[in-house]
A and B are shown apart, each in its own frame.
Chain A
Amino acid sequence: MELWPDILIAAFLVIGGFFGLVGSYGLIKLPNPMTRLHAPTKATTLGVGGVLIASMLSALFDRGVLSLHELLITLFLLLTAPITAHFIAKTHLHQNVRREDLPDTGTGAPWASESNRDIGSGKGVSE
């Protein structure tokens, strides 16, 4: 067997591992919840992507089959990562951010997580 497919696969594994590590390090290093959210949503995508490409190449060169599972994992990852991030951001906005600290929407209406905040705290509930 030739050497260069192995080198290619190893390179993608190293790239994937590096970005996974950077994403995890960013989670510890960055100063507050909103900035911490940036690390796992970005750096980890390429981390997982690198490992998936390595997996496809390995199936292609070592076993001679075209593996499609990895494309499906990519698709589901791209669908779920922003939604998870959005949920975490919403929870943070609900619990820790005051209305005055957010910029104005510019449309006259409040932000969605503010408009029903009073219901959650029991303040805005009418009789």
Chain B
Amino acid sequence: MITRLLPHPLLTLLLVGIWQMLVNDVSAGSLLLGLLLGIAIPILTSAYWPNRPKLRRPLKFVTYAMVVLWDICVANLVVARLILFRRNASLRSAWVVIPLDLTSPEAITVLAGTITMTPGTVSSDVSACGRALLVHCLDAPDPDAVRDDIKSRYESRLKEIFE
């Protein structure tokens, strides 16, 4: 019964939250309308989610978001310094290949997005079999260290959350 009414509880929660932000006001009326939308939309669209991703540990996602937000701030400072104070000729930009342990497409998408937002790396391509990411580094004296850093800092956390 509860799974039929709420086929996707996290989506419901997300929709209610986004509705409050859109209305820009938390009141009983907007909460009720948000809840109605949050219940109706997952039910109406559940047919299009045959293999919807399961978050094994949703709370870990909060820690992950905090880590990423902090890294985004650091990334901005690092890249700003590289742009302002380094001559182009001394930038050692490089391609880095990241072999993936993650298998779910959603987890890989989140990882690729994280890589793009964080220090000096942009994810550019995925291998045809979906088991390696191609990442471009703005300044990487040691490409292997970049790869290990991404695997230990982000991928291991995502693996706990998604798989």
Residues of chain A having any CB pair with chain B under 8 Å: 19, 22-23, 25-26, 29-31, 34-35, 37-39, 41-43, 45-46, 67-69, 71-72, 75, 78-79, 81-83, 85-86, 89-90, 92-93, 102-115
Contacts and interface: CB of A to CB of B under 8 A. Distances in A.
Contacts of A92: 124
A30 B80 CA distance: 12
Nearest to B121: A38
A111 B116 contact: no
Contacts of B127: 105, 107, 109-112
Contact of A108 (B72, B76, B78, B129): B129
B134 A30 contact: no
Interface stretch (B5-13, B15-23, B51-59, B152-160): B15-23
Contact of A107 (B20, B73, B95, B131): B131
B122 A105 contact: no
- Secondary structure at chain A's binding surface: helix, strand, loop or mixed? helix
Contacts of B124: 34, 86, 89-90, 92-93
B76 A41 contact: no
Contact of A109 (B78, B91, B129): B129
Interface in B1-60: 18, 20-22, 24-25
A102 B134 contact: yes
Interface size band for B:
35 or more
Contact of A46 (B20, B72, B84, B93): B72
A35 B91 CA distance: 9
A69 B21 contact: yes
Interface string B121-133: 0111111110110
A25 B88 CA distance: 13
A29 B83 contact: yes
B18 A72 contact: yes
From A29, A81, A85, name the one whose CB has the most chain B CB atoms within 10 angstroms. Answer: A85
Given A45-B75, A108-B129, A111-B134, 13 more contacts: A26-B83, A38-B120, A42-B120, A72-B18, A82-B112, A82-B116, A89-B124, A90-B125, A92-B124, A106-B132, A107-B127, A109-B127, A109-B131
From B20, B76, B134, name the one whose CB has the most chain A CB atoms within 10 angstroms. Answer: B76
B117 interface: yes
Contacts of A39: 79, 83
B79 A34 contact: no
Given A69-B24, A89-B125, A109-B127, A81 B79 contact: no
A115 B93 contact: no
A43 B132 CA distance: 27
Contacts of A46: 72-73, 76
